[in-house]
Amino acid sequence: MFLNKDIKETILPISNILSNQKSFAFKLVASALMALIAAILQAAGGVIPGIGMLISPFSTAPIIISVLILPSYGILSYLLTIFLLLLIQPSELFVFPFTTGAMAIGIGLGFVLFSKLWKVITFSSLFLCIGICLLLYVFQFPVLGPFLIEFRVLNIFIIYSFSLVYCWLWIELVLRLLPKITNSLRPR
């Protein structure tokens, strides 16, 4: 079954290139650049009405790449993105840390920790589900609009089901893009 496939063949080449063959300065600059790209993409949702909402979910990808460099650099990029959003677009501060950023950290850590696709999907969707639930039920921030605002077990199940599908789509996208990124980073 495709959910049980081993993803280490896709993840190991880029992890080896980024963590073993590149210098400390390269890793630090790459992480900062990934944070800047993530902040710009996330801020597009508030700066460019309409089309910006389609652009902002792509802020997940740079954080995933930073986590693949090294998990500590991924956390650094995540925190730096939050700080940059405070300066660029403060209205996105509620959304990024709990949804897009949390999912990116979950996917990146899932790639580092697990070798089976279903484990990565389950792990990362847990991050996204917890982030959405925190926004909805702790901070009372209607991230999904008026939908699912009441705290019920059925609502949690719906949020987790959405998180599973959304994370699965992101993981498939990343797994298709990683070989292309790996080929561009290889020394010639």
Taking the C-alpha atoms of residue 137 and residue 78, their distance in angstroms, rounded to an integer, is 23
Per residue in 106-139, pLDDT (tens digit) is 999 999 999 888 999 999 999 999 999 999 999 9
Indicate the number of domains in the chain: 1
The overall pTM is greater than 0.75: yes
Is pLDDT above 80 for 187?
Answer: no
Domain with 176, as residue range(s), is 2-185
Per residue in 32-73, pLDDT (tens digit) is 999 999 999 999 988 888 888 888 889 999 999 999 888 999
Is pLDDT above 60 for 1?
Answer: no
Taking the C-alpha atoms of residue 106 and residue 122, their distance in angstroms, rounded to an integer, is 9
Q: Percent helix, strand, coil in the chain (nearest 5)?
A: 80, 0, 15
